[in-house]
Amino acid sequence: QSEAATGNDFCRFWVHNGFVRINTEKMSKSLGNFVTIRDIYKRYLPEVLRFFLVSSHYRSPLDYSDQALDEAEKGIKRIYAAKGQMEQALARAKWSETRLPPEIGQELAKLEEGFTAAMDDDLNTAQAIGHVFGLVRLAGRVLDDKTLAKSREAAEALRRILADLDTWSGILGVFGRDSREFLAELKASRLARLGIDAVRVDGLVAERQEARKTKDFARSDAIRDELAGLGVTVMDTPAGPQWDVA
């Protein structure tokens, strides 16, 4: 009827997703083993759930668990963290007349072809996500390569990787937000879910920094261990200590 009314195709693809399972059983109201999206959103960001869904092939049964969502959360955090690191590296200096190292260009082309092939293969988003992480690993190698650091070649490689991530995020509907904004929201979400008091953590981090300044390393190490017990890691950077939820 809609085709007769509009003259357009009703749809190009008709897909049926696999069942969502809990403890190998199909999630259903009759079994009482269901979780609502509203309940999930009280504990996890919506994009974490979306990433969890696209990390599996739509026709495969989907095994739901908090552990699976935790893994999805770690995965999307890794992608956004890589985006942020690349953006910061590009902002530190200006390059012109950039060119791409041949070996990096070849690897990028292989990842791009793989992503397209995966999506053309019955919307295999699980395989496509593997190529996304291929970009993340490549970005890490470029950022860690001292022969490339601050070079025009590195700048071009990072720009190309970011461009691919931007294109692919538009296709998959994930990791397309501002990296700093998303990571801040994710940190707040994890703090709330784990019951960690950010004010207390800030105080301990400041106390640890003061102990380091006075060379009271025993106290500094004790505070670090206390923070680790809370599930918090501290990174000492040139800009000062930064902390995150492990």
Tell me the per-residue pLDDT of 52-101, one tens digit each, with 9 for 90 and over.
999 999 999 999 999 999 999 999 999 999 999 999 988 876 665 566 77
What is the secondary structure of 81-101 as a DSSP string?
HHHHHHHHHHHHS---S----
Q: Which residues does 17 contact at the CB level (< 8 Å), separation at least 6?
A: 58, 59, 62
Quote the DSSP letter at residue 55.
T
Q: Which residues does 204 contact at the CB level (< 8 Å), separation at least 6?
A: 223, 226, 227
Q: 74-92: buried (b, 16+ CB within 10 Å) or exposed (e) per residue?
A: ebbbbbbbbbebbeebeee
116/113 Cα distance (integer angstroms): 5
140/147 Cα distance (integer angstroms): 14
Q: Pick the closest to residue 52 from 105, 125, 110 (CA basis).
A: 125
Length of the chain: 246
pLDDT at 112: 97
Task: Determine contact, residues 27/64, Cβ cutoff 8 Å.
Answer: yes
Quote the DSSP letter at residue 151.
S
Average pLDDT, the chain: 91
Q: Pick the closest to residue 100 from 166, 163, 179, 175 (CA basis).
A: 163
Task: Determine contact, residues 137/97, Cβ cutoff 8 Å.
Answer: no
Q: Pick the closest to residue 97 from 160, 15, 14, 156 (CA basis).
A: 156
Tell me the per-residue pLDDT of 175-202, one tens digit each, with 9 for 90 and over.
999 999 999 999 999 999 999 999 999 9
pLDDT at 98: 60
Question: pTM of the prediction?
Answer: 0.87
What's the pLDDT band for 45 if we cut at 50, 70, 90? very high
Q: Determine phi and psi for 108, rounding to 5 degrees.
A: -60, -45
Q: What percent of the chain is predicted at pLDDT more than 70?
A: 96
Sign of CA dihedral 190, 27, 123, 12: negative
Residues paired with residue 20 on neighbouring β-strands, in sequence order: 62
Tell me the per-residue pLDDT of 150-178, one tens digit each, with 9 for 90 and over.
677 888 889 999 999 999 999 999 999 99
